[in-house]
Structure 1
Amino acid sequence: MPQPPYIRTKPLIPGPVTRRTILKAGGTLLLSVFPILPAAAAQILAVRVWPAADYTRVTLENDSDLKVTHFTVPDPQRLVVDIEGLELNPTLKSLVAKIQSGDPYIKQVRVGQNRPNVVRLVFDLKEEIKPQVFTLEPVGTYKHRLIFDLYPVKAVDPIAAMIEKGEWSRADAPVGSPELPAPAPKPPVAATPTTTPPASAPVTAPVPAPVLVPPAGPVLAQPTVPVAPALPVPKTDLPEPAPVRPDPPRVAAQKGDKGGKVVRMMTIALDPGHGGEDPGAIGSAGTREKDIVLAIAKRLKFKLEEQPNMRVMLTRDGDYFVPLGVRVEKARKVQADLFVSIHADAFMLPTARGSSVFVLSEKGATSTAARWLANKENLADAIGGVNIQSHDKQIASVLLDLSTTAQINDSMKLGKAVLGEISGIARLHKGSVEQAGFAVLKAPDIPSILIETAFISNPEEEAKLRDNGYQDQIAAAITKGIKRYFAANPPLAKGRQT
C-alpha cells in the first residue's frame, strides 16, 4: 500500500528567528559537548590531636562545612568516620603521624580514599569510647572545624584521679561519690629469702628493704616519699636537687594533731585558663597564654601542698581544652573551698600593663576594661569548641545560677588578700579588686577569683611571664594571699555532699 506523502505541519523553528532563540540553542549545544563539572572538593588545612586523660580530641580544620557519618565497631574497638566531599591530601595523611604512643584512647589511625569524593578514617582504639563528632563554624582565627571528641565510657572522676596520684585519701572521699577504683597494685618486689626479717631488723644496703606495710604499700626503692608514715626516709636518701613535697596534710587529716583534734583538709581548685584548641592570648614574641598559666598553676600547686592541710586539684594538668562549665563542676565535685582561675590576658593597647584580681559581679563590671576582659574570656567555649547538642545540661546550668551575696563577699575577701600580696612583687593594673561577669566564677557555693598575672600583650610583661623567677614569685605571692585569707576566715567543718 503506498505511503501517504510526508506533510510538515510545523516549522522547525516556530516564529521568527530571534537572538534569544539562537542563544538558547548555543547553550544547549555547549552543555552537550562539555559535561557539568563537579564541585571542587573541600581542602583540609590543618589537623591537630589533643590527648588527655579526660578525653582525646582530633580536629580537622577545613575551608568549608563537611558532611560526616560515623559508627563504632567492637572486637577490636574501632571508630569509623566517613567524610563526604573530600579528597585525600598530604595534610590529612599527616594525621597518622600525629597519634602519640601515650594517647589514652587512640592506638593508631588509618586514612584512605574509601570511594570517589569520600575519605574514611579508622581509629583503632585502646578501649571502648563514647565518641562525639560535630562541626564548628569559623570563629577567631579558625575556619570550619570538624571535631572528634573521644570520651571514656566511664567519665574520669576528679577525686578518683587524685586518689590514684596519692593526693587524696580514700577515707576522705565525699559520700555519694561515684564508685572509686581500688588502689592500683604495686609492681611485685624482687624475690627475697623465704625468711622475712622481723619489723625491728635494720635495713641495710644494697639488699632491697623489705616491705613493712601491707602489700599495697610503696617499695622503698622508688624515688618518691612513701605515703605510709611508718617508714620515714632519711632526707639524705632523697634525690637532689629536686625538692620532695612532705606529706603531713594527709596524715593530719586522718589521724588528727597532737591534741587529738582532727584537722580538716582545705581543698583548692586551680584553674589554668584556656588550653588545647583555645591558646588564649598570644604575645608579640609568640608566647601563648595557655602555656604560661599552666606553668604558673603547677608552681602554685607545689607551693600550696607544702602548707599544712592543703591539697590542690587542677582543672587541667596538660594542654587540652576544658569547657567553662566543666571547670566549675570539677571544683564542685571535689568540694573545693576556693576556686582560683589563672590568666595572662591581652588588651587592645600594648601599653596596658599590671596584675589584676577579679571576682564575680551581679550588677555589671566595675570598669570598661573589666567588662571587655570578661566578654573575651567568656568566648572560650566558642573558640575551644563545645558540642552544644550533647553538652551536659546540668553542668551548663551551673553557669546560669545566681551566686549568693555571701559567696561574692567571701570572694572579695580572698581577692583583697591575694591582691595585697601580689602588689609586693608586681605592678598593679588597678589598686582594688575588680568585678565583672566572668562565667568561670559562677560557682554558687565556692569563693572564686580570677587572677590576671600580667598583660601578655605588653612586650615587657610578656618577657616577665616567660621568666621562671617571675612565675615563681607570682606563685609565692598567691600562696601567701591564700594563707592570709584562711587565717582570717578559717573554713567551717564541711558536711559531706550526697
Structure 2
Amino acid sequence: MRIRALLGGLLLLAMTLQAWAAADVNGVRLWRAPDNTRLVFDLSAPVQHSIFTLTAPDRLVIDVKGASLKTALDGMPLDNTPITGVRSAQYDAQTLRVVIDLSAQVSPKSFSLPPNQQYGHRLVVDLFDQNAPAQRSPAPPATATSSTPNAPVSPTLPASKLPVLPSSKRDIVIAIDAGHGGEDPGAIGPGRIFEKHVVLQISRELQRQINADKGFRAELVRTGDYFIPLRKRTEIARKKGADLFVSIHADAAPRAAAFGASVFALSDRGATSETARWLADSENRSDLIGGAGNVSLGDKDQMLAGVLLDLSMTASLASSLNVGQKVLSNMGNITPLHKRRVEQAGFMVLKSPDIPSILVETGFISNPSEAKKLQTSSHQQALARSIHSGVRQFFHENPPPGTYIAWMRDSGKIASGPREHVVRAGESLAILAQRYQVSLAALRSANNLKGDTIKVGQTLKIPATTLAAQP
C-alpha cells in the first residue's frame, strides 16, 4: 500500500510539474493609475514566479518558471509611467525572465489571479510610485478644516463631520466613484459594451454638472481606466473631504429582459459589521472620529467609542436613505425604475461610517435596449441631471454647517421646502420632530396623524417649519 501511495504521489507531482511547465504568456496589458502602474500577463496556465529590483540603472526583474513567451512586449502605452522599456530572455531551460526598465524607483507587488468570466489565468505586477506628488491623496481645502467645536451639528449628517466657521462658506464636496476599471471591466453588455467605460462617462458628466452649480464641488474617485480596490475608493473620498459618496454602476442579470435603474444604501447588517470592524482598528477609529486623526481615542473608554461610532453610522445611513430616495425619484422621471424604493445591501463601497453613501445602478447593461441608451450622450446627460437634482435637493434641505449652501439657506435665499422621511426601526415621531426641527403638531398635521404612532417603512412628509414649542 505504501509503495502504491508513493507512486501515486510521484505521479501527481509529475502532473503538477508538467502543468507548471505548460504555461504560455499570451498577452501583456498595462494600466496606469494616479499612483501606480499595473502590468497584467495573460497566461494559458498558472505559474510560479519571483520578482526583484536592481539599481543603477533601475530595473524590475520577473522570473516566471516553466513559461514561454508567445506575444510581443513592445507597443504598450508607456507614456506617463515609470517604464521605459520591457524585454525578455530565456534565463535558463525552465525560466522566462522579463526585465522592466524604469526611469525611477518603484515599490513592486505581484500576485496571481485565477480565471474569471472575462480572462484566464493572470500574473499581476503592480509598480507603486515612490515619492509621488501630493495630488495622489489630496487633503480637503483649508476652509473645510477650520471648525467651531461648540457649533450645532446638522441632525441628518454624521456627527463626526465637524462644522466649519460660517465665514468660510466652503463648497459641499461630492465624491463620484465610477465603478470597476482597468483589469475589472464590470458587466459586459451586447456588442462587448463594458460597464467600466459607460459609468466613467456618466461620472464625468455628473461632475461637470455639479461643478457648474455654485456651492458644490465634485471630485472623481477614478479619473481613468485603472483599477482601485474597494476600500481605497472610500479612503480617497474621505481624503478629498467628501460630504457624500456616489458610486455609479450599470447592472447585469442572467435574463436579458431585466431592466430599470436602482439606488442602494448600506444594509443594517452591513452597518453593524462595519462598526465592529472600525472599533477593532484603533488607528481607523481615531482617524474617523477625529476627522483627520486630530483626536486620539487611545485613552477613551471602548463603550464611548462604540456609542460615537454607532451614532455616526446611524446618522450616515439615515442621510444615505434620504438622498438615495431623492435621487431615485428624480431618475424615475427619465428612465424606468427596477425598484421604487431605495434598496439596502452590504456593498463594500457603502460602508463608510462618516460619509453618507449611495450606489446608483443606472440601468441593466445586459438589456440590449438599455445598453444602447446607456451609450448615448443624451441619456448619460439625463441620468447625470437626475442624480444631480436629487443630490441638490438633499443638500438644499440639509446643508452642512459652514457651507455656502447653508449660508444661502440661512440668508433666506434658498427655501427649505417639504421633505420626506421613510421610517426606520427605533424611530419615533418625537425623535423625527427633533431631528428635522419641526414641532410634533406640525408633523402630525402634515401627515394627517391623530396620534404619535408610526410604522417602519411608512413615508412621512416633513413640513418646512421651524421648531416650535412642543405641545
TM-score grouping bracket, smaller chain normalisation: 0.5 to 0.7
Q: CA deviation at 1:313?
A: 1.7
Q: Does 1:415 find its partner at 2:324?
A: yes
> In the alignment, is the contact (CA less than 8 A) between 1:88 and 1:113 conserved in 2?
no
For 2:252 and 2:73, locate their aligned partners in 1 and report how far apart those are by CA, in whole Å.
32
- 1:333 pairs, out of 239, 255, 280, with 239
Any residues of structure 2 matched to 1:437-456 within 5 Å, and which? 437-456=346-365
> In the alignment, is the contact (CA less than 8 A) between 2:26 and 2:69 conserved in 1?
no
Q: Paired residue for 1:126?
A: 103
> In the alignment, is the contact (CA less than 8 A) between 1:134 and 1:147 conserved in 2?
yes
Secondary structure in structure 2 of the residue aligned to 1:425: coil
- 1:70 pairs, out of 48, 51, 59, with 51
Q: Which runs of 5+ in 2 are unaligned?
A: 1-14, 147-164, 272-282, 289-308, 404-471
For 2:392 and 2:144, locate their aligned partners in 1 and report how far apart those are by CA, in whole Å.
24
Secondary structure in structure 1 of the residue aligned to 2:23: coil
Aligned residue identity for 1:436: A
Aligned residue identity for 1:52: A
CA RMSD of aligned residues (A): 2.7
Q: Paired residue for 2:371?
A: 462
Cα offsets for 1:89-136 (capped at 9, x unmatched):
2x2xx22222x2413221111122222221111111121110001112
Q: Paired residue for 2:35?
A: 54
For 1:77 and 1:394, locate their aligned partners in 2 and report how far apart those are by CA, in whole Å.
35
Q: TM-score, normalised by structure 2?
A: 0.66
Cα offsets for 1:198-253 (capped at 9, x unmatched):
xxxxxxxxxxxxxxxxxxxxxxxxxxxxxxxxxxxxxxxxxxxxxxxxxxxxxxxx
Any residues of structure 2 matched to 1:93-112 within 5 Å, and which? 94-98=72-76, 100-112=77-89
Q: CA deviation at 1:66?
A: 1.4
Structure with the larger helix share:
2
Against the structure 1 CA distance between its residues 79 and 174, is the aligned structure 2 distance closer, same or farther, given a 3 Å change threshold? farther
Q: CA deviation at 1:73?
A: 1.3
Q: Paired residue for 1:84?
A: 65
Cα offsets for 1:6-47 (capped at 9, x unmatched):
xxxxxxxxxxxxxxxxxxxxxxxxxxxxxx9x9443112332
Q: TM-score, normalised by structure 1?
A: 0.63
For 1:394 and 1:49, locate their aligned partners in 2 and report how far apart those are by CA, in whole Å.
33
Aligned residue identity for 2:329: G
Cα offsets for 1:161-206 (capped at 9, x unmatched):
58xxxxx75x44759xxxxxxxxxxxxxxxxxxxxxxxxxxxxxxx
Structure with the larger strand share:
2
Aligned residue identity for 2:384: A
Aligned residue identity for 2:321: M
Secondary structure in structure 2 of the residue aligned to 1:133: strand
For 2:390 and 2:132, locate their aligned partners in 1 and report how far apart those are by CA, in whole Å.
34
Aligned residue identity for 2:265: V
Higher relative contact order (CA 8 A, sep 6+): 2
For 2:254 and 2:325, locate their aligned partners in 1 and report how far apart those are by CA, in whole Å.
26
Q: Paired residue for 2:172?
A: 266
Against the structure 1 CA distance between its residues 289 and 264, is the aligned structure 2 distance closer, same or farther, given a 3 Å change threshold? same
> In the alignment, is the contact (CA less than 8 A) between 1:158 and 1:334 conserved in 2?
no
- Decide which structure has the larger Cα Rg and report it: 1
Q: CA deviation at 1:83?
A: 1.1
Against the structure 1 CA distance between its residues 174 and 139, is the aligned structure 2 distance closer, same or farther, given a 3 Å change threshold? farther
Q: CA deviation at 1:325?
A: 0.6
Identity, in percent, stands at 42
Q: Does 1:149 find its partner at 2:126?
A: yes
For 2:197 and 2:186, locate their aligned partners in 1 and report how far apart those are by CA, in whole Å.
9
Q: Paired residue for 1:362?
A: 268
Q: Paired residue for 1:4?
A: none
Q: Which runs of 4+ in 1 moved over 6 A?
A: none
> In the alignment, is the contact (CA less than 8 A) between 2:176 and 2:218 conserved in 1?
yes
Q: Paired residue for 1:232?
A: none
What is the total number of aligned residue pairs between the two structures?
A: 335
For 2:207 and 2:195, locate their aligned partners in 1 and report how far apart those are by CA, in whole Å.
18
> In the alignment, is the contact (CA less than 8 A) between 1:357 and 1:434 conserved in 2?
yes
> In the alignment, is the contact (CA less than 8 A) between 2:137 and 2:239 conserved in 1?
no
Secondary structure in structure 2 of the residue aligned to 1:461: helix
Q: Does 1:353 find its partner at 2:259?
A: yes
For 1:108 and 1:490, locate their aligned partners in 2 and report how far apart those are by CA, in whole Å.
51
Q: Paired residue for 1:298?
A: 204
Q: CA deviation at 1:433?
A: 1.1
Aligned residue identity for 1:140: Q
Q: Does 1:286 find its partner at 2:192?
A: yes
